[in-house]
Amino acid sequence: MFYVSRRETFSAAHRLYNPKFSEEENKRIFGKCNNPNWHGHNYTLEVVVAGEINPDTGYVIDLKYLKQIITENVIRKVDHKNLNLETDFMKGIIPTAENIAKAIWYQLVDKIPTGKLYAVRLHETENNFFEYKGE
Ligand code: NI
């Protein structure tokens, strides 16, 4: 089994906020990411596809198609956007890195032409990254 990865980057704004909590609780739980005037992160996304080598092409997946699929289904919806307000697949979801990684998984899982989506890894800061591998 091979694991083939494509890395993409995007910049996006967000605010972590749950209307179930009081203002004080929101501040305590979400800290800096609760800033009511938004703030941004430079995210790095890694998409990993698992599969066998196609003997005719020598590829598991043609990375130019994987790049295109990620760009169309994810990057153009998140890059330089407000994740709370502008990203259709994040509507009504608290945009933590965990939730963003999970939502990106569901944007991609049925669109991989060869091999299978194996992992979505999202780096929110240099030291904090999150990985989703499906249910
Ligand atoms: Ni944040």
Catalytic residue set: 33, 80, 124
The residues, any chain, with a CB within 8 Å of residue 40's CB and separated by 6 or more, are 11, 12, 13, 14
CA of 33 to the centre of ligand 1 (A): 4
Residues 20-37: tens digit of each pLDDT:
999 999 999 999 999 999
Q: Distances from the Cα of 105 to the Cαs of 29, 84, 111, in angstroms? A: 26, 18, 10
Please check whether residue 90 is in contact with residue 101, taking contact to mean a CB–CB distance below 8 angstroms. no
pTM for the complete prediction? 0.96
C-alpha–C-alpha distance, residues 52 and 125, integer Å: 32
Please check whether residue 75 is in contact with residue 46, taking contact to mean a CB–CB distance below 8 angstroms. no
CA of 67 to the centre of ligand 1 (A): 26
Residues 36-48: tens digit of each pLDDT:
999 999 999 999 9
CA of 103 to the centre of ligand 1 (A): 17
Average pLDDT (97-120) is 98
CB atoms within 5 A of ion ligand 1 belong to 33
Residues 114-124: tens digit of each pLDDT:
999 999 999 99
| Average pLDDT score over the chain | 97
C-alpha–C-alpha distance, residues 80 and 53, integer Å: 36
All domains in the chain, ordered by first residue: 2-132 (3.30.479.10)
pLDDT band at 91; cut points 50, 70, 90:
very high
CA of 31 to the centre of ligand 1 (A): 9
